[in-house]
Amino acid sequence: MTASPTQCEACRDAQPLTFEFTMAFQPIIQLSTGSIYAYEALARGIDGSGAGSVFQHVNADNQYKFDQTCRIKAVKLAAELGIPCYLSINFMPNAVYEPERCIRTTLKAANDYHFPLDQILFEFTEGEEVLDYGHIQRIIRYYRSQGFLTAIDDFGAGYSGLTALANIDTHMVKLDMALVRNIDTDVTKQAIVRHSVAMCHELHRQIIAEGVETEAELQCLVGLGVDFFQGYYIAKPGFECLPEINQAPGLDAFHRQ
């Protein structure tokens, strides 16, 4: 449930985080145009260690501060790197008490570092069962009213399923990588993704496939009508930098002079 103003202020005024972290950036591409659509900001340890090394320190007491700090770091680095497209930022709905208040950090960071607000995409990620869809609807509705793009992350895994799709009106849906892995040889996954794409397109939502690791997976997903792609086959995350798109079959459009 939405916290009271007092609770929100208590979280906002919490003590600094006791751990440090930074960001890596991974491109999300649109093959049909041969362009990079967005870069997703991914938490990393300051030594380059993976997200797990960061999230092991996140708990109910510091998740609000962590979520807000992620936004600031992502926007600051994106501005320094001159990201010319969308910046995709993950947010945890349990760390957003009042959308109007919690968004202020993002607005201030964008203003301080001169990053365009209309280039921000928020990915909603939920690791626990959603008991209050009304709260998440309010968050998404408010973000949309402010001109931000929104997406459901990890669709098809955990609690990010059809109920979330029915109750959360985002612009985009990101397929979980478990559905993508070896999809070229798995007719069951192909059927699930084919119908998910058709359903999302009927609902006017675009599909992102994450975790693409092979040319065969990429070509299969293209054939199934997926709109955007992300994964190691395209580019590994760049630690505090924007990585180059790989020289690989199927990605020629990104390397033409």
CATH of the domain at 206: 3.20.20.450
Whole-number Å distance between alpha carbons of 106 and 13:
16
Closest CA to 90 of 138, 41, 51, 48: 41
Tokens (6 digits) for 83 = 């990201």
Q: What pLDDT, on the 0 to 100 scale, is given for residue 3? A: 40
Closest CA to 62 of 123, 3, 125, 12: 12
Q: What pLDDT, on the 0 to 100 scale, is given for residue 224? A: 98
3 state DSSP class of 150: strand
Q: How many CB atoms lie within 10 A of CB 33?
A: 9
Closest CA to 58 of 25, 104, 91, 102: 91
Taking the alpha carbons at both ends of the chain, their separation in whole angstroms is: 53
Q: What pLDDT, on the 0 to 100 scale, is given for residue 9? A: 58
Mean pLDDT by 10 residues, the chain (257 residues): 43 75 98 95 97 93 90 97 97 77 90 96 73 81 91 78 85 94 98 96 97 98 98 98 96 73
Contacts by 80-85 with C-beta closer than 8 Å and gap 24+? 80/113, 81/25, 81/240, 81/241, 81/242, 83/25, 83/39, 83/115, 83/119, 83/242, 85/35, 85/36, 85/37, 85/38, 85/39, 85/119
Q: Going by DSSP bridges, is the β-strand pair 22-30/35-44 parallel, antiparallel, or unpaired?
A: antiparallel
Contacts by 9-14 with C-beta closer than 8 Å and gap 24+? 11/64, 11/65, 11/97, 12/64, 12/68, 12/101, 14/61, 14/62, 14/64, 14/65
Q: How many CB atoms lie within 10 A of CB 140?
A: 23
Q: Which residues pair with 139 in a beta bridge?
A: none
pTM: 0.90
**Residue the block writes with tokens 């999230």:** 55
Range of the domain at 9: 5-254
3 state DSSP class of 8: helix
CA atoms within 13 A on the CB side of 66: 24
Q: What pLDDT, on the 0 to 100 scale, is given for residue 96? A: 77
Burial call 44-78: b when 16+ CB within 10 Å, e when fewer: bbeeeeeeebbeeebeeebebbbbbbbbbbbbbbb
Whole-number Å distance between alpha carbons of 162 and 26:
27
Tokens (6 digits) for 171 = 């612009």
How many folded domains does the chain comprise?
1
- Contacts of residue 97, defined as CB under 8 A and 6 or more positions apart, other chains included, come to 2, 3, 7, 8, 11, 64
Whole-number Å distance between alpha carbons of 202 and 36:
24
